[in-house]
Amino acid sequence: MGFTGCNGRYNGHNSQSLNLYFFKSNIHGYLRGYKTPSFNVYKEMGTGRVRPRAMQKQVGYIIDLIKRDEYDLEYKLGSLSVKLSIASVTLVFHVLNSEKVSALRFFRWIRHWQPELRCNSDICSLVIDNCGRLDDYDAMRSLLNDFNENRLCLTKKAFEFLHVMNVTNESLVESTQRVIDLLREVRGSCHGWVPSLIEMFSVLGSFDMVEFVMKKTERKISYYYIFIREMCRRCDFKGVRDIQDEMRKEGFELNSRIYNYLISCLLKNGEYDDACKVLTEMQDKDCPPDALTFEIFVYYCCKNGKTEIACHYFDEMVARGLEPRLSTHAAFIKGFFNSEQYEEAYKYVVDSDKKYKCTSCMNYSLLARLHQKRGNLVIAQNILSEMIKKGLRPYFKVYMKVFNCLNKSGRETLAIDLQEQFHQLHSKA
């Protein structure tokens, strides 16, 4: 079945965050921005000076300096004149935290030495974890006040000390209550840090502690999202149903996001019939499925070679007036391609160009990239040439991949033709 049966309309990318939490598809990686390579030196912001990046031995030396806690620690750190990557800073914190060595001086120094890291959520979270492991709640309070004033976010890493430092349930409850009291004391945006505390316990499977935190703070639907997401990841479907019942008793209406987590998990485990029952339940409960709901089914069907059924879900989605997401189109293209239905994949891209102009650059670039990775360089070149003739700009990384592969494979003429077309398009911009 070709794309002709999919009759939707798309006017722009829906900004709703993608919640295919359980599918971890390469599609999403393709849609993200392309990473730039790392270098061993970097230019210091605002100065033009160049600092070398810290090497592994230097990171070890930095850790030793911090452990010695000498009066001139900051001077010695600065004299190294190196830039620490986020990964290096994280490593330093992991070592210090695991060995219960104070990281406060290092934290203050790195924020001054590398201002671009001043508001990094992971680093700020790790220093809170450090204070917790040292039972230094005064320092933690001071830091939280600073973070609150600057409206900094914290991650679940900030509260990992709770389960590390408490070996009994009684001590865990006591320490958690102490943290909750501290968050209340600091006030302000710190209440936005409670979800990170809930997430930490959820990931550990400490659902009793999740209940404790919600009981001591408040019950919000966003907290239940975290709770249900983790239960779905663990395939605890009975637990999910129990939480849904609790939410109803608390006066919360179940929305599509809750159901989407459950559908995703069921499909991940091959429970297609049960997922369909959940879809029916959504509609019976007057909770209309959203574009993501249908995308989850589309992705599952395309991944398993059932593109005809995927088109059925696509048609139903569009009939409801929902806009297909970029990743929905990518699922179709990859589905056709991976099942070696190359003509269908191409036809999908061409037809979608007529109906969903906003997706054209991504669709053509994705198809060209898939052919390039499979070694179909001439086809990839033709696809890029076709889109350029239509005035569409290929993703630069895809263009460069195809161009370089053509050169390396001895197809210099095709490479030059593609380069000229691309430059002409660039000059017209």
DSSP state letters, 252-273? PPP-HHHHHHHHHHHHHTT-HH
pLDDT of residue 336: 95
**% of the chain exceeding 90 in pLDDT:** 77
Reported as a single tens digit per residue, the pLDDT across 217-263 is 999 999 999 999 999 999 888 899 999 999 999 999 899 999 999 99
* Coarse DSSP helix, strand, coil percentages of the chain, rounded to the nearest 5 percent: 70, 0, 30
Task: Please give the C-alpha separations between residue 149 and each of 2, 145, 153, 188, 378, in angstroms, as whole numbers.
Answer: 56, 6, 11, 8, 57
Per-residue pLDDT tens digits for 313-342: 999 999 999 999 999 999 999 999 999 999
| Residue 191 pLDDT | 57
Residue 15 has pLDDT above 80, yes or no: no
Report pTM.
0.77
Average pLDDT, the chain: 87
What would the mean pLDDT of 336-354 be, rounded to a whole number? 94
Residue 13: the pLDDT is: 34
Supply the pLDDT for residue 231.
92
pLDDT confidence of residue 52? 60
Does 268 have pLDDT greater than 50?
Answer: yes
Confidence band of 190 (pLDDT split at 50, 70, 90): low
Specify the pLDDT at position 426.
77
User: Average pLDDT for residues 93-107, to the nearest whole number?
Assistant: 97
Asked if 292 and 18 touch (Cβ cutoff 8 Å), the reply is yes
Domains for the chain: give ranges and CATH numbers: 1-36+290-355 (no CATH), 53-117 (no CATH), 356-429 (1.25.40)
Predicted pLDDT at 292 = 97
Residue 201 predicted with pLDDT over 70: yes
pLDDT at 82: 87
